[in-house]
Every structure is written in structure tokens, then in C-alpha cells.
């Protein structure tokens, strides 16, 4: 299946004439309306304004608050109530199945987003539709009283939220020029950590009960998506630029050959390993505080650690994003973040105390803030086709959700047979360091 590249969009000006975008403003400096439809696949050159970045950040906050809060807080509490003896295995099962759904849903939704010819643009319909579907899945999960029911509900929520994620991750590649990309990525990336802080605050301090926690997340997921959906237009994809649908070609398009696109492959593997290390380090944090640190209130402990983590991530994400854009370098910062994050994992491996957990949260946050700012900018620079940005970012995002499938399968036997939590966090450190080393294999990005 042949796809037009970014430059081909300019040759389709006649075909794209009259394509509406919807919305009042695109939020870019010096442009009161979205770019012409014929330029929908062109490399962005007009800087985006603070309103556009803030609205996209709110939508990103919504999706990650809905993703991470159940994994860290609500699912452990709900499954502990359902099966106190088998809570660890139940959590691994539910999160693993949900992550498997995410692996499939994100690139498929991204591929259909790339092909969407709605007058409202390609991304906004998927952001709103995914938010509504994800909220419905969260509400369904809240009503379940069996492990199987929770697993079904979480899978439904993951399907909707990953459709939303496909919509919120692509506008940076669609609309943000290279000179701003790490800075904007820093703001949106920071929302991943802030989402867990706010979600934990809501579910431990502002509302009581598992059901009300899910309900609050469902409402906020939709509400925080609306500013970007309603306020910022985007150019519509002209029908002439949408390739004919053929099932075999559509299915084959999800394979991005690492032989033909080696830098894309190395970027994918780097992200996978760093996120695997992060998943191994955070998936069992609630149980780590309860069983190894013997914290009196693990839920509150998770909230405190997450606040420390997020504050430290904020201290590094935006400044490093600005610096990366200014010097034009990405890989150096990814290597740095992997070393810092591995050091945090070593702290958790060697010392099972509350003060060491606080120190590890600060170090891990600082390292992950660097990663959030720079990795997304790097990835957008190795995408093979302008016409397939959301699909290719969906394939890249498998490196986010895939570790959520693999981490439970690795973590349970490591905890049981390879040194308990010490073995778990040593494994996390090793995966993170290897990921940082492999980023140096990328050739087209400095």
C-alpha cells in the first residue's frame, strides 16, 4: 500500500481545496485558522502557542490519570477485597490482559486516525470517542465483584483509553516544529506523572471507596479532553489522500521493517527496555511498601512517593526539553536518564526502608523527567511516513504497553525465586541501562 510522504501533500493542493478543519483556532502563533488541508502531511514549521500546548497537556493528563491510577491504587485495592490471598497473581492477570489489549488497540486506532477524513480533523474525533469509551470501561470495572469481571472491565477501559492515546500523542508530530518539539514533549510527558499524583490524591483524599474513585476518574477523563477537542481545529485529510482500504495491506502496514527503518527499530527497542525497567520498578510498589518496607499505610505511601517523583520530574523535564531543542541533541539525554533511573532502582534493591524509598523516588523522578522530554521528540524524528504518523506512533507505543504485559510475567517469578524485591529492582536497573546503551545505535538523530 503506497502512502504519500510529507512533501507529497503539497502536490495535492487541488485535491484538498475546501477541506474544513472545524474549531475556532489552531493555537499557533501568527495563524488564526488551521493550516490548509493540502498541507496536512507537511512537516510543521509554524510554532504552537501556550494555549495549544496547555490544552493538549490537559488531554494527556486525562488519559494517563485514567491509565495509571487504577494500576497503582484502585486495582490493587479492589482485587485485595475480592481475593486477599491471591491478590498478587490477580493483579498480574488483570494488568497483563489490559496491557495486551493496549498493544493491539493503540496502533489500530492510530491507523484509523491516519485515515479519518472527518471535517473535524483526524485526531479530535478519536480523542473524544476514546475518552467516552474509556470512561464507560472504568464505570463497568467499578461495578465488578469477581477477578474475571474486573479483567473484562479493565480491558474495555484500555481499549477506549488507547484510542484516546492515539489521538493525543500524534499532534506533536503533526503540528509542532522541531525547534519546539522537546519542550512541548516535556509538558505533555510531565502529565504522565502528574496524572498519577492527581489520581492518587483524588482516590485517597477527596473521595472514599473504590467505586467513587473509578467514577471520578471517568468524569475527569471526558472533561479534561474537551478543551483540546472543542477549541483547537486541525486540517482535515482530503479524501484524495486517503488510500483505498485493503485488509491485507492494512494488516501488513503494522510491520515496520527494522531493516528498512533501523533507527525506528532502535528507538522502539530503547523505549521498550526503559519502560520495562520502569514497569518492573513501579508495578509492585504498593506491595513493596506493605511487605518489604512495612509501611503502615501503603496507599498513602504510594501517594507521597509519587508526589516526590513528580516534583523531581518537573524540575528536569521542561529545562531539559528547552536545552535539547536549543542544542539539537536527543541521544545524550536518553543515555543520561537511563543511568539516573538505574541508580534509583539500585537504591530500592539494596535498601528496603522508607527514607531510601523517598530518595529513590526523587532520583527516579529526575531521570524520568529527562526521558519524558527527550524520548518523544526523538521518536517523532524517526517516523517512516508522514501519512502514517498515528499508526507508527501506535507501534512505538507498544513499547509503552508491552512492558506492562511482560513485567508481571517477569516480576512474579523473580520475587518468588530470584531474591525477592532485591532481585526485582536489580532486573529493573539492568533493563534500563541496556535501553540507554542501545539509543546510541540511532544514526539520523544526534
**pLDDT tens track for 122-138:** 999 999 999 999 999 99
Give a yes or no: residue 16 inside a domain.
no
Task: Taking residues 68-78, report their average pLDDT.
Answer: 89
| Percent with pLDDT over 90 in the chain | 59
Q: Per the domain annotation, does 8 fall within a domain? A: no
pLDDT higher than 80, residue 402: no
**CB 264, CB 382: distance < 8 Å:** yes
Q: What is the pLDDT of residue 410?
A: 87
Q: Does 197 map to a domain?
A: yes
CATH number of the domain where residue 69 is located: 1.20.1250.20
Q: Is residue 371 part of a domain?
A: yes
Does the residue 446 lie in any domain? Answer: no
In this predicted model, which residue has the larger pLDDT, 243 or 207? Answer: 207
pLDDT of residue 336: 95
Is the model's pLDDT at 17 over the cut of 70? no
- Average pLDDT taken over every residue of the chain: 87
Taking 90 as the threshold, does the pLDDT of residue 212 lie above it?
Answer: yes
Question: Is residue 15's pLDDT more than 50?
Answer: no
The stretch 47-53 carries a mean pLDDT of: 94
- Across the range 273-302, mean pLDDT stands at 88
What pLDDT does residue 205 have?
A: 81
Q: Give the pLDDT confidence score for residue 143 in this predicted structure.
A: 95
Residue 300 domain-assigned? yes
Residue 24 resides in a domain: no
| Whether the predicted pLDDT of 307 surpasses 60 | yes
How many domains is the chain partitioned into structurally? 1
Confidence of residue 35 (pLDDT cuts 50, 70, 90): very low
**With 60 as the cut, is the pLDDT of residue 198 above it?**
yes
Q: Is residue 208 part of a domain?
A: yes
pLDDT of residue 21 exceeding 50: no
Average pLDDT over residues 66-72: 89
Residue range of the domain that includes 354: 46-233+248-441
Q: What is the pLDDT of residues 323-370, one digit of tens each?
A: 999 998 999 999 999 999 999 999 999 999 999 999 999 999 999 899
List the grid coordinates of 21: 478543519
Higher pLDDT, 373 or 381: 381
For residues 280 and 431, the answer to whether their CB atoms sit within 8 Å is: yes
pLDDT band at 406 (very low <50, low <70, confident <90, very high): confident
pLDDT at 268: 95
Amino acid at each position: 500500500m503506497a502512502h504519500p510522504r510529507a512533501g507529497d501533500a503539497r502536490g495535492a493542493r487541488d485535491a484538498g481545496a475546501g477541506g474544513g478543519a472545524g474549531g475556532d483556532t489552531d493555537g499557533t502563533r501568527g495563524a488564526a485558522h488551521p493550516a490548509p488541508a493540502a498541507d496536512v502531511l507537511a512537516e510543521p514549521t509554524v510554532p504552537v502557542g501556550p494555549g495549544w500546548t496547555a490544552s493538549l497537556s490537559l488531554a494527556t493528563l486525562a488519559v494517563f490519570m485514567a491509565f495509571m491510577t487504577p494500576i497503582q491504587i484502585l486495582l490493587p485495592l479492589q482485587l485485595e477485597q475480592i481475593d486477599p490471598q491471591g491478590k498478587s497473581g490477580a493483579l498480574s492477570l488483570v494488568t497483563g490482559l489490559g496491557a495486551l489489549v493496549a498493544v493491539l488497540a493503540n496502533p489500530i486506532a492510530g491507523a484509523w486516525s491516519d485515515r479519518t477524513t472527518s471535517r473535524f480533523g483526524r485526531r479530535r474525533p478519536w480523542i473524544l470517542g476514546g475518552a467516552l469509551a474509556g470512561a464507560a470501561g472504568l464505570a463497568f470495572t467499578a461495578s465488578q465483584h469477581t477477578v474475571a469481571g474486573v479483567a473484562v472491565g479493565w480491558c474495555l477501559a484500555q481499549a477506549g483509553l488507547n484510542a484516546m492515546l492515539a489521538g493525543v500523542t500524534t499532534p506533536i508530530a503533526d503540528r509542532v516544529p522541531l525547534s519546539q518539539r522537546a519542550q512541548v514533549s516535556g509538558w505533555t510527558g510531565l502529565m504522565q506523572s502528574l496524572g498519577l499524583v492527581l489520581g492518587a490524591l483524588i482516590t485517597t483524599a477527596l473521595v472514599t471507596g473504590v467505586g467513587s474513585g473509578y467514577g471520578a476518574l471517568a468524569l475527569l477523563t471526558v472533561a479534561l479532553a474537551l478543551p483540546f477537542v472543542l477549541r483547537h481545529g486541525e486540517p482535515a485529510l482530503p479524501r484524495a489522500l486517503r488510500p483505498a482500504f485493503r485488509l491485507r495491506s492494512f494488516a501488513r502496514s503494522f510491520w515496520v521493517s527494522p531493516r528498512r527503518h533501523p533507527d525506528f527499530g532502535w528507538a522502539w527497542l530503547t523505549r521498550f527496555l526503559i519502560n520495562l525497567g520502569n514497569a518492573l520498578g513501579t508495578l509492585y510498589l504498593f506491595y513493596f511498601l506493605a511487605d518489604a518496607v512495612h509501611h503502615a499505610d501503603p496507599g498513602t505511601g504510594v501517594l507521597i512517593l509519587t508526589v516526590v517523583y513528580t516534583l523531581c520530574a518537573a524540575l528536569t523535564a521542561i529545562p531539559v526539553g528547552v536545552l535539547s531543542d536549543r542544542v539539537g541533541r536527543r541521544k545524550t539525554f536518553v543515555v543520561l536518564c537511563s543511568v539516573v533511573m538505574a541508580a534509583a532502582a539500585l537504591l530500592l534493591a539494596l535498601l528496603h526502608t522508607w527514607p531510601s524509598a523517598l530518595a529513590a523516588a526523587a532520583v527516579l523522578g529526575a531521570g524520568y523527567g529527562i526521558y519524558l522530554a527527550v524520548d518523544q521528540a526523538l521518536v517523532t524524528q524517526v517516523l517512516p511516513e508522514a501519512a502514517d504518523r498515528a499508526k507508527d506512533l501506535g507501534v512505538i507505543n507498544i513499547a509503552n504497553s508491552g512492558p506492562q504485559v511482560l513485567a508481571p510475567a517477569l516480576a512474579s517469578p523473580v520475587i518468588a525465586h530470584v531474591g525477592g524485591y532485591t532481585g526485582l529492582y536489580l532486573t529493573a536497573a539492568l533493563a534500563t541501562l541496556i535501553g540507554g546503551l542501545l539509543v546510541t545505535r540511532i544514526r539520523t538523530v544526534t
